[in-house]
Structure 1
């Protein structure tokens, strides 16, 4: 039987697996080991991990297209396949039991992540697993049993994705019913808020599990939206999330 492999992003020639702190969402500030999957079923214009999907020859637009120094990524330079047991060995070498499966879109590789979670849990029952997902795919029963927390970030019109691709009703309803799920919306304008509140009402998303986060890949952009969004969260009774890693290190990989 062929061994299971995970398709992961490449960073400096190695799979992008690193020890840092969670910079977004309800777990902000928690020491974590990040494992970054390659591949995504959405293609957001403002994505800051577009090296996981924006390959040469693909038709998708990105905000960075206006930058003469920017170009699409050569696929073989930014993706690797690593046996799951090797991923587990790398993760287990860090003195940290919170593991964040990120991407890309991790749920495209549901079965392989299940195997990874099982291998790590067999070594140490203290492992805590978070998955960062765009909320378009329903996890399998086995995955759902193993994961502890979903960080669901449904995409809005500002992402540039067509609505039928970014809003999958059955998946959103699954996460809205899950006590493991937190919803994080990236927001840049009042129009985004109107769209968010339509989604909340349509799918009965619990208000106390919603976080709003300013869109921005640099500190100047975040600061221009931060105070406006904080006031909005206070007045509408939503939880606010910043992007701590951008404040600390800027738009860098592996931190």
Structure 2
């Protein structure tokens, strides 16, 4: 595989060391690379500046950086794990910079997590180089039609990597019932499912977690909060 550190990607921000706030790696020290662009329009999205041109000047919020610049910043402080997020990072798979980024991080000895909405099928090189996929399929309350936010072929491909954990954002018990129906329909192992409350402040997260925790555990799911929100609120760059 050819790795070119001069290849580029469109980036919102690179920050860390911090901690992973959600999912199976919650609490682990890491750095984040947030790429631009998304194919969904979740109305509660906490990073709309990566994709929503109706509210943001994307020429100002997004910049094109070289892989060398991205990797150098991400590895500052020796985080041990790098999380590539968005937006929807798997939209970048056809860019030369994507595989150069994954390869450079792998060669540096760091684990690589990719956070994805589950609508994009990973290529073979992507599946090989990524340590873990944090797959977050969107439920009805996100606002997009089911045909747009649920792509069974992509879900099957992500599941088949053996590296996927599935995370669902819930606002209440009704959403949890939707998660149960979803996992049954797509043959997802409940042990690989994490349920997380939606919210951008501690009181909201705690109230919603209290509502969904017991039924989630009874369904065989794991639960997660948003640790970074508890630590830093809704502040960007943590």
Both structures adopt the same fold (TM-score exceeding 0.5)? yes
Contact 1:18 1:35 in 2 (8 A): no
Q: CA RMSD in A?
A: 1.6
Number of the residue aligned with 1:69? none
Stretches of structure 2 lacking an aligned partner (at least 5 in a row) = none
Contact 2:106 2:112 in 1 (8 A): no
1:161-240 counterparts in 2 under 5 A?
Answer: 161-240=144-223
Contact 2:166 2:192 in 1 (8 A): yes
Query: How far apart in 2 are the matches of 1:109 and 1:217?
Result: 27
Shift of 1:189: 2.3
Stretches of structure 1 lacking an aligned partner (at least 5 in a row) = 10-14, 57-71
Q: Does 1:54 align with 2:52?
A: yes
1:1-255 counterparts in 2 under 5 A?
Answer: 3-9=6-12, 15-56=13-54, 72-110=55-93, 111=95, 112-122=97-107, 124=108, 126-255=109-238
TM-score (structure 2 length as normaliser): 0.93
Cα 1:130–1:188 shift into 2, 3 Å:
same
Shift of 1:153: 0.2
TM-score (structure 1 length as normaliser): 0.87
Query: How far apart in 2 are the matches of 1:2 and 1:223?
Result: 43
Query: How far apart in 2 are the matches of 1:191 and 1:175?
Result: 26
